Amino acid sequence: MPSQPKPILDILKKYWGYDAFRPLQQDIIESVLAGRDTLGLMPTGGGKSITFQVPTMAIDGMALVITPIISLMKDQVDRLRALRIKATYLYAGLSRGEVKRTYEKCLYGNCKFLYVSPERLQSRSFLDHLRQMRVSLIVVDEAHCISQWGYDFRPSFLHIVQVRKLFPSVPVLALTATATPVVVEDIQRCLGFKAPNVFSMSFARSNLSYVVRPTEEKVTELIHILRSVPGTAIVYVRSRKRSKQISDELNRAGINADYYHAGLYVEDKEDKQNKWMDNECRVMVATNAFGMGIDKPDVRLVVHVDVPNSLEEYYQEAGRAGRDGKRSYAVMLVKHTDQSVLRRHITEAFPDKDFIRTVYQRVGDFLGVSLGEGFQQMFDFNFNLFCRTYDLPVLPTHNALRILTQAGYIEFVEEIETQSRVMIFAKKEDLYELDTTTPGADQVLQAILRLYTGLFADYVFINEDVIAFRTGLDQETIYNALLEFTRMHILHYVPRKRTPYIIYNTSREEPQHVLIPKVVYEDLRERMTHRVESIINYAYSDTGCRERMLLGYFGERADEDCGHCDLCIDKRKREDHLPADVQQGILYMAGLRPRRIDEFLNTLSFPRDEIINMLSFLVDEGFVEHLDDDTYRTIK
């Protein structure tokens, strides 16, 4: 007979130090403890992890947590271990020895949380081990990835239903921050919910003001906004190169900024993130790789310099502002060419099917996989070298691999960066008189023993830069010393590696037999088109209410306007002034000195279109002249 669950408030206080749950957390936890399949829709920063960590600590057995974000997986495991909670993870970058030790921990009850990437669910060995474990809860994070209607569909998520068959009486908890009504229904269907059961927080954020700012000079406007709104900020861009460029421009303008993207080393990411969290850096200019799992409550401003491809992405990223409940701003900068750029993304995302088949053939050649071979094998995959070898265009090739993944032929996984790791096999007394040939090897071993703990029990992450600093030895010497110790079976050293990888889900086939079905090409293209048109409509609307548009998109009805987005404020301005007020304001400013149009727009508290139309009228009527340097002044 199963034991009774422990009191959940006591667990919350003991491990996390909180006296009460946030809204919706307790409802979800009680649903899970009652054994019901549950879908939790909680906006960014709503505390999703508590909803499965607390109930797991309240019952016997282990939670299987399926998440597609490896960096977030590592971060959560580290946090749980810091709380003295036994947690571990499995992903494709681990060595065979690490995988074996992880299985042993879970099989012998030495683990409460096992985090896995969805690709692991396709491994027959994993499933054979899993069926022997005592799993009490199945958690699906980023659950929108299971739906082909979602904005980030991952076919590997579809294998979760096979895991459910191993544990038919175990409830599943699906969690996501953003989902439209169609996706909500699809998640429950794909996960085999026994009955519909959805807990949803309102998507409304009363303290968050949504603003769309048209401008042809985005960086200039960004600087103006950052100077106008004090406090911590995140600036989102679409490319790694652009994140550094804009960060540099902000610093030149006297604004303390740094940049962040997925291509940085783990240590650099942690250093930049920590400085931003500790307010040593005010502005983080980043790709969408930044923000997952970061709970900084006092972000006053989130600016999107580049328009994202969907309202789901925008809402999730914008929602990182104002988690402390104080007034904050989510600003999107748009210019007239952004619409065509967004629509071009659709074409780029779906290259010609013959090109996709060519990429499939080239991948097999590049990896040395023969026809009929490769099934369930994993290969390191240097994407940039692959494109250079066969002179393939980068973006279409990347999207071809994504479509081949969605079609089920391969699994192309980009987010893989493994830090160097060491586990010591020898007994402590055997480490004092080692006969080594690498100069400085003893110094390397002593530095590792001083710097890191737990080396005799498990693999521990190490940093060769830190070891080099402590010993004065160069990287090559440290590397060779660790390899020598590995050959001597003193320890096992897994060097740092950062490369994508490919798993073959089927044996390699002739390219003409590779079918690109409608459901992963035409249907997904149609859904992407819908998402792109939705965000274009949001970004270029000049009437209505921004928040109502967002709420309507996510299936939530708002009975009245928010009153604090840019459109609501513009509406109020129209009602509170006369055209003569606009004219007087322009003439006063232009009479003091020549002004650029942005100065009028940013200074005068009137609707943008009224300012622009009045300025044009005053030029036509000869009251104001437009100078060669693109400024305006009154005609004396």
Give DSSP secondary structure letters for 372-415: T--TT-EEE--HHHHHHHHT--HHHHHHHHHHHHHTTSEEEE--
> What SS3 state is found at 633?
strand
> What SS3 state is found at 501?
strand
What pLDDT sits at residue 178?
82
- Return left, alpha or beta for 622; rule: phi > 0 is left, psi -120 to 50 is alpha, else beta: left
Give the CA distances from residue 40 to residues 10, 484, 519, in Å, rounded to whole numbers and listed in that order. Answer: 22, 50, 27
65-98 burial, b at 16+ Cβ within 10 Å, e below that, comes to: bbbbbbebbbbbbeebeeeebbbbbbbbbbeeeb
What pLDDT sits at residue 293?
65
CB 145 within 8 A of CB 158: no
- Tell which residue, 15, 31, 25, 81, has the closest CA to residue 49: 25
- Tell which residue, 203, 205, 177, has the closest CA to residue 72: 177
CB 256 within 8 A of CB 283: yes
Q: Are strands 257-260 and 283-286 parallel, antiparallel or unpaired?
A: parallel
CB 44 within 8 A of CB 294: no
Looking at residue 13, what DSSP letter applies? I
CB-based burial label for 407 (10 Å; 0-12, 13-18, 19+): buried
Where the chain has pLDDT below 70, the residues are 1-4, 44-46, 92-93, 151, 293, 415-417
Residue 198's φ and ψ, nearest 5 degrees, are -120, 130
CB 137 within 8 A of CB 55: yes
Token output for 569: 């404020």
CB 502 within 8 A of CB 411: yes
> What SS3 state is found at 137?
strand
- Tell which residue, 152, 144, 95, has the closest CA to residue 491: 95
Amino acid at 399: N
What pLDDT sits at residue 4?
63
E-strand stretches of 143-222? 172-176, 198-200, 208-214
Q: What radius of gyration, in Å, describes the C-alpha atoms of the chain?
A: 28
Token output for 16: 């996390």
CA-to-CA distance for 445 and 452, rounded, in angstroms?
A: 11
Helix residue ranges, H only, 458-578: 464-471, 475-487, 522-540, 546-553, 566-575
Sole residue written with tokens 């797991």: 56
Paired strand residues for 39: 174, 198
CA-to-CA distance for 90 and 107, rounded, in angstroms?
A: 14
Q: Are strands 421-424 and 491-494 parallel, antiparallel or unpaired?
A: antiparallel
Give the CA distances from residue 595 to residues 55, 69, 335, 375, 622, in Å, rounded to whole numbers and listed in that order. Answer: 61, 48, 20, 66, 16
Helix or strand holding residue 504 (H, E): strand 501-504
- Tell which residue, 375, 371, 397, has the closest CA to residue 384: 397
Helix %, strand %, coil % for the chain, to 5?
A: 45, 15, 40
Task: List, for residues 464-484, the tens digit of each pLDDT value.
Answer: 888 998 899 988 999 999 999
CA-to-CA distance for 164 and 60, rounded, in angstroms?
A: 18
Cβ atoms < 10 Å from Cβ of 130: 22
- Tell which residue, 183, 202, 186, 206, has the closest CA to residue 42: 202
- Tell which residue, 144, 59, 102, has the closest CA to residue 315: 144
Give the chain's length.
636
CB-based burial label for 612 (10 Å; 0-12, 13-18, 19+): middle
* Maximum C-alpha span of the chain: 94
What pLDDT sits at residue 45?
67
Task: List, for residues 607-628, the tens digit of each pLDDT value.
Answer: 888 888 999 999 888 899 999 8
Torsion sign across C-alpha atoms 107, 110, 112, 113: negative
CB 62 within 8 A of CB 134: yes
What pLDDT sits at residue 1?
41
